[in-house]
């Protein structure tokens, strides 16, 4: 079976504005500039797009699974439904142990098995260390995004998803 390439995406801080707390209220859930264009460009180049996000506020009773699903629907609506799948881990380490939560890589590994993903052609884009750690554990290349990181914090860094997309596309055009 043909293996597919994928870009795994953290949600808060990569696709939507990081609020400093929990992003679960529809009226506060804001897709970042150029995210729809970046996702469309990745799709044009044959990438699956899969969101990998921790949502511990569910287990903490701060918000519900339905709140999360409503935000995911708003995300899909804002991005012409380009996202192939969304995995989220509702647990929190203080309440229940979970290998799904980043920095563990079980969500990524489940998606890799389900979609027959080639880890050597795939990426994880995140805005914090736990996202990068999850990607590394799964064996995919990683890009740290966000203007708040010091230069040299990670091997590959970008200002935002649009810039990360340009780096990925530049990489696939390199001569072998």
Please identify every residue annotated as catalytic: 10, 12
Helix (H) or strand (E) holding 137: helix 129-138
Q: How far apart are CA 41 and CA 55, in angstroms?
A: 27
Task: List the structure tokens of 5.
Answer: 């390439």
Distances (CA, A) of 118 to 10, 54, 112: 19, 23, 7
Q: How far apart are CA 159 and CA 104, in angstroms?
A: 25
CA-based diameter of the chain, in Å? 51
Q: Residue 77: count other Cβ atoms within 10 Å of its Cβ.
A: 10
């Amino acid at each position: 079976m043909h293996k597919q390439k994928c870009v795994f995406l953290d949600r808060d801080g990569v696709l939507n504005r990081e609020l400093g707390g929990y992003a679960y209220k529809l009226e506060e859930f804001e897709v970042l500039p150029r995210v729809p264009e970046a996702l469309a460009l990745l799709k044009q180049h044959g990438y699956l797009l899969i969101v990998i996000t921790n949502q511990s506020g569910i287990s903490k009773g701060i918000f519900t699974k339905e709140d999360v699903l409503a935000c995911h629907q708003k995300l899909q609506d804002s991005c012409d439904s380009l996202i192939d799948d969304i995995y989220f881990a509702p647990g929190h380490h203080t309440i229940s142990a979970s290998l799904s939560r980043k920095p563990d890589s079980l969500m990524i590994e489940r998606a890799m098995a389900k979609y027959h993903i080639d880890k050597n052609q795939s990426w994880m884009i995140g805005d914090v260390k736990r996202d990068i750690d999850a990607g590394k554990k799964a064996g995919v290349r990683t890009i740290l995004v966000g203007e708040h990181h010091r230069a040299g914090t990670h091997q590959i860094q970008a200002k935002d998803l649009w810039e990360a997309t340009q780096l990925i596309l530049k990489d696939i055009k390199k001569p072998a």
